[in-house]
Amino acid sequence: MAVSDICAGFRLSFPDFSLDIDTRIPARGITAIFGQSGSGKTTLLRCIAGLQQCEWGRLVVRGETWQGERIFLPTHRRPLGYVFQESSLLAHLSAEDNLQYALRRARPVPPRDLYWRVVALMGIGPLLQRYPQQLSGGERQRVAIARALLVSPQLLLMDEPLASLDAARKREILPYLERLRSEFELPILYVSHSIDEVARLADHLLVLDRGRLAASGALAEVLGRLDLPPGLGEDTGVVLEGRVVERDARWGLARVAFAGGELWLRDSGDAPGQHLRVRVLARDVSLALASHGDTSILNRLPATVAEVAPDADSALVLVRLRLEGEEGESGIVARLTRRSADHLQLVSGKKVWAQIKSAAIVK
């Protein structure tokens, strides 16, 4: 086992739910724990935090045992930060005192500039004198995230920190989370039931289904699988990591290169060289046996059929495609009618052209 990993195994059972998971999570970047409600995401996170007693548990974080046969570090002895789903600021303390509460207890004592760094990162300078009930939902979550950072955690646990917010508040907070990801060398476990958030933030993905681990691995790899138990439906799609190679001012487009090829996307103002994450939804990918020039679709890429699998909707199928480019290989997924698949006689190994109607820069 790599010392940089988190080994987490927990078993517990309630009358109507049981959790039985034993897995390894990389202790770097953002690992999303994804699943429908009731799949055990929050329970798993609470087990890791020591907030939930379980029948059997094993937790080794970067070589340090937090929980084992004879060891159970109570929550306050685990060097972690925790952001709860709903606002969890201590109601009798101002925003600043909430931050100081964490800072005073942080071990090891954090560097002096951490406080102002975190306050600036989360943009909460003007809010410090207010009490929790005087803050909006989004402001409260930003203070709560800042507070979790100030205890010098070695691991940050976030339990659907955006779930209690409306769409506008979510858009307000997401950039802060991305800055957090890029500015802190801090492994984050991020519980979510929103594939949009996951696609935008996560590097690694655990999929839970009814208390069991259904899939785990790198984000792109897991999203490229056709057998994910929740059945993502309209949201089925992959994430491609790429970089801007050219901007076309005349048409307002940018050319983005990724391992399996290149895509023209609407220019988001990113400079050439900028790394990007592009989400390609399966419903936006259509297939043709030949390359047609007389189409409105800009992006046509040569691809090989890797797998054809039934969709939850019996009229549709999912097709996993391999894109081979100069720099390597990527996978995307197409969602077609069963009739079209039959018409094109799609089988594994068949060469096709993937037409990508649109793709969104998610980051």
Partner 1 sequence: MGFSDTDWTAIWLTLRLASTVTVLLLLIGTPIAWWLAKSRSRWKGPVGALVAMPLVLPPSVLGFYLLLAMGPGGPIGQLTQALGLGILSFTFWGLVIASLFYSLPFVVQPIQNAIEALGERPLEVAATLRAGPWDRFFTVVVPQARPGFISAAILGFAHTVGEFGVILMIGGNIPGETRVVSVQIYDYVEMLEYDRAHWLAGAMLLFSFAVLLGLYLFRQRRSRAGIGVGA
Beta-strand relationship, 253-258 and 155-159? unpaired
CA distance linking residue 239 with residue 34, whole number of Å:
15
Cα 108-78-156 angle, rounded to 5 deg: 85
Which of 147/320 has CB closer to partner 1?
147
CA distance linking residue 336 with residue 319, whole number of Å:
8
Take residue 200 and report the two structure tokens written for it.
């935008």
Which of 105/266 has CB closer to partner 1?
105
Which of 158/244 has CB closer to partner 1?
158
C-alpha dihedral, 253 to 257 to 258 to 263, nearest 10°: 40
Least separation in angstroms between residue 220's CB and partner 1 is 32
Which of 119/254 has CB closer to partner 1?
119
Least separation in angstroms between residue 140's CB and partner 1 is 8
Cα 95-100-103 angle, rounded to 5 deg: 135
Long-range CB pairs of 343-349 (<8 Å, 24+ gap) are: 344/287, 344/289, 346/287, 346/305, 346/308, 346/319, 347/305, 347/308, 348/305, 348/306, 348/307, 348/308, 349/304, 349/305
Which of 50/260 has CB closer to partner 1?
50
Least separation in angstroms between residue 139's CB and partner 1 is 13
CA distance linking residue 261 with residue 328, whole number of Å:
8
Is residue 21 within 8 A of residue 44, CB to CB? The reply is yes
Least separation in angstroms between residue 130's CB and partner 1 is 12
Least separation in angstroms between residue 191's CB and partner 1 is 14
Residues that bind partner 1 (CB under 8 A): 49-51, 74-77, 80-82, 84, 87-92, 101-102, 105-107, 132-133, 147-148, 151
Q: How far is residue 316 CA from its own chain's centroid?
A: 27
Half-sphere exposure of 51 (CA within 13 A, CB side): 13
Least separation in angstroms between residue 120's CB and partner 1 is 21
Which of 49/346 has CB closer to partner 1?
49
Take residue 185 and report the two structure tokens written for it.
């060398």
Q: Could you tell me which residues come within 8 angstroms of residue 319 by beta carbon, excluding any fewer than 6 positions away?
A: 287, 305, 307, 308, 309, 333, 334, 335, 336, 341, 346
Half-sphere exposure of 316 (CA within 13 A, CB side): 17
Residue 139 phi, psi (nearest 5):
-65, -40
Which of 54/226 has CB closer to partner 1?
54
Which of 144/280 has CB closer to partner 1?
144
Least separation in angstroms between residue 129's CB and partner 1 is 16
Q: Which residue in 219, 218, 189 sits closest to 61, CA to CA?
A: 189
Which of 104/292 has CB closer to partner 1?
104
Least separation in angstroms between residue 362's CB and partner 1 is 30
Which of 34/84 has CB closer to partner 1?
84
Least separation in angstroms between residue 104's CB and partner 1 is 9
3-state secondary structure of 172: helix
Least separation in angstroms between residue 241's CB and partner 1 is 32
